[in-house]
Amino acid sequence: MATQLSPIDKAKFVAAKQATQYVEDGMKVGLGTGSTAAWLVKCLGEMVEKEGLKIKGIPTSSRTAALARDVGIEVISLDEAKWLDLTIDGADEFDGNLNLIKGGGGSLLQEKIVATVSDQMIVIADAAKSVETLGNFPLPIEVVPFGWQTTKTLLEETLIGMDVLGRKVTLRMNGDAPFYTDEGNHILDMHLNRIGNARKMSLVINQIPGVVENGLFIDICDIVVIGYGDGRVETRDINEGSVEENRHDFVETENLFADLSD
């Protein structure tokens, strides 16, 4: 069945495809969450089926776990894995130092734990996620439901002393009801427009009672693979200080492109 991919989906697909080159037999691989990570899981599933790739996947959300099982990837828990070779995940924003905002899909807590215990973290993204300064994307904060309005007030007060261009904090909703994460928590989205000092912001926010974790990933990502709608891929490696360009062609009749849902 022929499928017409949008340029943005092509960009996400080629980034995911390129990142599969880092995956080797026997690896324990952290599987990210979101539409770009879903492409990766599909690509890996195809490698398991067609090339006999042997990996164990550690998903970062119930959504990703379901998709991974669906495409034939062996899924194990983080406690079974203990330490991972590699995590590949999407991001909402990345800057020149490969610091990230994540959590647009509400899975930042599991994503941060899994990425932190991985030898290497690779982000796959379309070029629109590249920013000079983090903060245009609302920063997600995972908070416990108990007293979440008090936690919101404490967050707003903390922002008064910070280098930001906005201070609005909103409770993430799922239709008419508050959104719940896989861990049973809420998400507060902070509309900051610009985060002048992301490292300080991350440290300060995590001191507030009621906050479980924030969506800033500082010094966690090693490599970002940026996809473009025309099939080009750029790979930036922060440790090597290298930038590499590649290209992928599409065969849009592959099963891989059918019925992908995030």
Chain contacts with ligand 5RP (rule: CB under 6 A): 32-37, 89-92, 102-108, 111
CB closer to ligand 5RP out of 163 and 234? 234
We find the least distance from the C-beta atom of residue 152 to ligand 5RP, in angstroms, to be 20
CB closer to ligand 5RP out of 28 and 172? 172
Cα-flanking dihedrals φ and ψ of residue 68, to 5°?
-60, -45
Both tokens assigned to 69: 């099982």
Of the residues 93, 111, 142, 213, only one is catalytic, namely 111
226 close to 15: Cβ distance less than 8 angstroms:
yes
We find the least distance from the C-beta atom of residue 215 to ligand 5RP, in angstroms, to be 7
We find the least distance from the C-beta atom of residue 160 to ligand 5RP, in angstroms, to be 27
Instruction: Residue 88: name the closest of 26, 142, 140, 39 by CA.
Output: 39
CB closer to ligand 5RP out of 34 and 57? 34
CB closer to ligand 5RP out of 181 and 235? 181
In which order are the strands placed within the sheet that holds 168-171?
A: 168-171, 186-191, 139-143, 211-214
Burial code of 120-156, b = ≥16 C-beta within 10 A, e = fewer? bbbbbbbeebbbeebbbbbbbbbbeeeebeebbebbe
Determine the Cα–Cα distance for residues 202 and 196; give it in Å rounded to an integer.
Answer: 12
3-state helix, strand and coil shares in percent for the chain, rounded to the nearest 5: 30, 30, 40
Determine the Cα–Cα distance for residues 20 and 88; give it in Å rounded to an integer.
Answer: 9
Determine the Cα–Cα distance for residues 213 and 113; give it in Å rounded to an integer.
Answer: 10
Please say if 245 is a catalytic residue.
no
**What are 89's strand-pairing partners?**
123
We find the least distance from the C-beta atom of residue 182 to ligand 5RP, in angstroms, to be 10
We find the least distance from the C-beta atom of residue 100 to ligand 5RP, in angstroms, to be 8
CB closer to ligand 5RP out of 45 and 105? 105
User: What letter represents residue 148's amino acid?
Assistant: W
Active site residues: 111
